[in-house]
Amino acid sequence: MKNSFATAEALGRSGRSQYIPMTPSEAWSFVESHVTAILSTIDSHGFPHATPVWYVVIGDKIYFRAQPYKKKVRNIMKKPQVCAVMEDGKHYTELRGVMIQGLAKIVDDDKLKREQVFSVLAKKYANLRDTNRMPAVWREKYGRKHRVVIEVTPTKIASWDNRKWLQLNRDIQRIE
């Protein structure tokens, strides 16, 4: 049986990482197909602040919306560096995900972009956004609040897909 370095060689990799990345096309398809990203911003004390966000991909950028008073928005206004992670899989051999580091900015002044983002978000989350089930007091207080549009321009993308190890193992066993 071949050792892990030979397995890494078969992948054209150095063997320095246990992760097999997705192709860029696979990574963007994965991102577009998921619903929730965990977005990390940097707070005023230098600590990560991680929150779930619903998002859309338009072109090569990620967009989401949030109320201006939210901590993630305040953090972005001070430090634009963010990191978003989308992942899935329950068992180790199923784990896969994408991490996107980037620079975020509020693009609320661009009315066309704002309308486009709101429209794409509405389509993507039409069957999930059931705020009508929230109590009336919540809907009155929070449901109508202004939301700003945030644009994330990726600066680095990393991905992993542990399912590829299983496929690689099957391929190597066929060769041997």
Question: What pLDDT, in 10s, does the model give residues 145-176?
Answer: 678 999 999 999 999 999 998 776 666 666 76
Reported CATH class of domain 4-175? mainly beta
The residue with tokens 């051999």 is 93
Closest CA to 64 of 52, 80, 53, 75: 53
pTM summary value: 0.82
- Measure Cα distances from 165 to 77, 162, 172 in Å: 41, 5, 10
Question: What pLDDT, in 10s, does the model give residues 91-105?
Answer: 988 999 999 999 999
Determine the Cα angle at 116 with ends 158 and 123, to 5°.
Answer: 80
Q: What percent of the chain has pLDDT over 90?
A: 65
E strands present in the chain: 36-42, 48-54, 56-58, 61-66, 81-88, 96-106, 148-161
